Amino acid sequence: MSDGSRSTDILVIGAGPAGLSAAIWARDLGLRCTVIDARPEPGGQLNSIFSPIRNYPGIEQIEGPRLANDMMLQARRAGADLIFGEAVVSIRAPELAVLTASGSVLNTKAIVAATGVRRRRLCVPGESEYLGRGILDSGAKRAGELGGSRVTIIGGGDAAIENAVLLGRAGAIVTVIHRGAEFSARDEFLNPAERLASVTLLRESNVLRILGDDRVTSVEVAGADGLPVKIDTNAVLIRIGWEPNSDLLREHVRLDERGYAITDKVGRTDVPGIYAVGDVTCREAPTIVTAAGAGAAAAKAIYSDHFTPGS
C-alpha cells in the first residue's frame, strides 16, 4: 500500500467472516468499502479450522480456507477494495481515520473493527523460548509427523480434547493437562478421548513451566497436592481459549473486563462512527454464522446512521 491519504465510506479492519460480510453488505447498499488485514490471506480463524465445517447454513460441508476464499471472492466481485498484508497501527477516533504500518492514512465515515481473537497464552517460563521448537501451532496440521511422539496438550475445552483424539488416533502418546476438576469439552470429543488408551486426561493440574534444551523435553506440572512433577514430552500444544484483538480499540471505546468491545445489537460502540463486530465482541458463543450476521447488521446500521437523509 503506497504512502498518502485515501478515503472510503466504510473502512473494515479484519478480513474474517464478520469483516467480509460487512463489506459485501456495504457494497450491496452502494457504499464504498475498504477492507484491510495484516495477514496475507483472508479468513481469520477460518484458516485454523482443519476439520470440515458442517454447521454453516446453506452449505453441507466446507473447509475453512475454502469458505474464507469464497467470501473474499464475493466481496471482491461486489466491488470492495481488499488490502492484505498491511497492518493498521492506530485509529484516530475523532476524525475517523486509521494509520497503517506503511504510513498511509485512510479516512472514512465509519470504522468497523472486525479484528477477531487470538489464542490465549499460558504465560509460564519456557513458553516463548520454545515456540517453534516443540510448542506446536496446530495439532491437526502436524498429526502426520507425531506418530510415536509424546505430546502434552494443555486445556480442557473442545479444541484441546479434539486434538487429543486426533493425535491419539494418529499414534501419538497424549497427555492432556487441565486445571479444572471437569472438562468443558463436548461429549462428542470427550467420550472418544476417554476410550483411547493412548490418551491420558489429568484434572486439577497446572503447568508451572516448559523445559528443554534445543527443543522441548518436558513440562513441570503441579497436581491437586501442589507438588511439582515433570512429564516427559516431545511437543506441547496450548489450547486454553481465546482473547480479543482489541488493542486498537483500547484507547477509544469501552471494553469489558476481558477486553471485548462493548456494543449495541448492531455493532455500535460508545464512540460515534466506530463499530465492532464478530469475535472481538463475542465472548460467550463465537461462531462463523454469528460473525457474518454481525457484519451485515453493522453495514446496515452504518448506512442508516451516516448515509440516509437526515442522518
Query: What is the C-alpha to C-alpha distance for residues 195 and 279, in angstroms, rounded to an integer?
Result: 33
**Is 183 a residue whose pLDDT tops 60?**
yes
Contact predicate 110/302, CB 8 Å: yes
Mean per-residue pLDDT for 156-168? 95
Q: 3-class SS at 70?
A: helix
Average pLDDT, integer, range 19-26: 98
Question: Is residue 1 predicted with pLDDT exceeding 70?
Answer: no
Q: Which of 137, 142, 191 is nearest to 171 (CA)?
A: 142
pLDDT at 3 over 80: no
Task: Judge whether residue 130 has pLDDT over 60.
Answer: yes
What span, in angstroms and rounded, lies between the C-alpha atoms of 227 and 193? Answer: 26
Helix (H) or strand (E) holding 295, with range, is helix 288-306
Q: Give the pLDDT confidence score for residue 311 in this predicted structure.
A: 63
Query: Over the stretch 200-241, which tens digit does the pLDDT of each residue have?
Result: 999 999 999 999 999 999 999 998 888 999 999 999 999 999
- Average pLDDT over every residue of 112-117: 97
Judged by DSSP in three states, 280 sits in helix
Cell of 194: 476417554
pLDDT-derived band at 294 (thresholds 50, 70, 90) equals very high
Residue 88: partners with Cβ closer than 8 Å, 6 or more residues away: 13, 36, 38, 98, 99, 100, 101, 248
Please tell me the predicted confidence (pLDDT) of residue 109: 97
Whole-angstrom CA distances from 138 to 50, 82, 167, 240 are 9, 28, 11, 13
pLDDT of residue 56: 94
Average pLDDT over residues 8-24: 98
In the predicted structure, residue 285 carries a pLDDT above the cut 80: no
pLDDT of residue 54: 93
Q: What's the gap between Cα 111 and its chain centre?
A: 20
Percentage of residues in the chain having pLDDT higher than 90: 88
CA distance 77 to 24: 9
Taking residues 72-78, report their average pLDDT: 98
Which stretch of 79-93, 128-142, 144-158 has the lowest confidence by average pLDDT? 128-142
Phi, psi of 235 (to 5 degrees): -155, 150
Band (112; pLDDT cuts 50, 70, 90) = very high
Helix (H, G, I), strand (E, B) or coil at 292: helix
Averaged pLDDT of the chain: 94
Q: Which residues contact 292 (CB under 8 A, 6 or more apart)?
A: 17, 18, 20, 21
Helix axes 17-28, 288-306, angle to 10 degrees: 40
User: What are residue 217's DSSP bridge partners?
Assistant: none
Cell numbers linked to 100? 497503517
Report the distance separating Cα 165 and Cα 138, nearest Å.
14
Distance of alpha carbon 6 from alpha carbon 107, whole angstroms: 6
Provide mean pLDDT across the span 193-199: 97
- 237-265: pLDDT as tens digits: 999 999 999 999 999 999 999 999 999 99
Going by pLDDT thresholds of 50, 70 and 90, the confidence category of residue 308 is: confident
Structural domains present in the chain: 5-119+242-306 (3.50.50.60), 139-238 (3.50.50.60)
Identify the pLDDT of residue 4: 63
